[in-house]
Amino acid sequence: MVDTPLLSGLYIVQKGILYLGDNFSNPDLLPGTLYMMVLRTLSKGPLHGYAIAKHIHDWSKGDLEIEDGSLYPALNRMLLKGWVKAEWGVTDSNRKARFYRLTSAGRKRLEAESSAFNKMVRAIQLVMRTS
């Protein structure tokens, strides 16, 4: 397993997010971490890809909508890194889907990513308060 630096999953939001709600006029300026959001979502239990995207959308009160073209490649990278495991199952609507669950390595990564992200946000807030 090859480890990558913290915030390696950092995306400019416009790359992985379709919609940021009406309050965001310039999504390029809002950094988000796709890996961190997916790992956080999976910390509640196993989910299939559509459900992961729906949870993120719902938890953000509709302001974040993850593109399939960003979500599934990210899930595959997380599988290769050992942060998640996947197995086939059946959804509530009786469809076959791949369900992802967090591994212990994924929990550690979530903790590290969250800490680094929070540090970055605090630093940005300090700059914004003193400018």
3-state secondary structure of 19: strand
The pLDDT-based confidence of 131 (bands split at 50, 70, 90) is low
pLDDT at 27: 46
3-state secondary structure of 11: strand
pLDDT at 93: 93
In this prediction, residues 1-29 reach a mean pLDDT of 44
CA atoms within 13 A on the CB side of 27: 16
Residue-wise pLDDT tens digits, 44-84: 999 999 999 999 999 989 888 888 888 999 999 999 999 99
Q: Which CATH class is domain 10-130?
A: mainly alpha
**One-letter amino acid identity for 104?**
S
At 30, list the tokens. 């809002």
At 101, list the tokens. 């669950």
Query: Which residue from 109, 107, 91, 110 is spatially nearest to 99, judged by alpha carbons?
Result: 91
At 53, give phi and psi (nearest 5°): -60, -40
Boundaries of every domain in the chain: 10-130
Pairing relation of β-strands 96-102 and 47-48? antiparallel
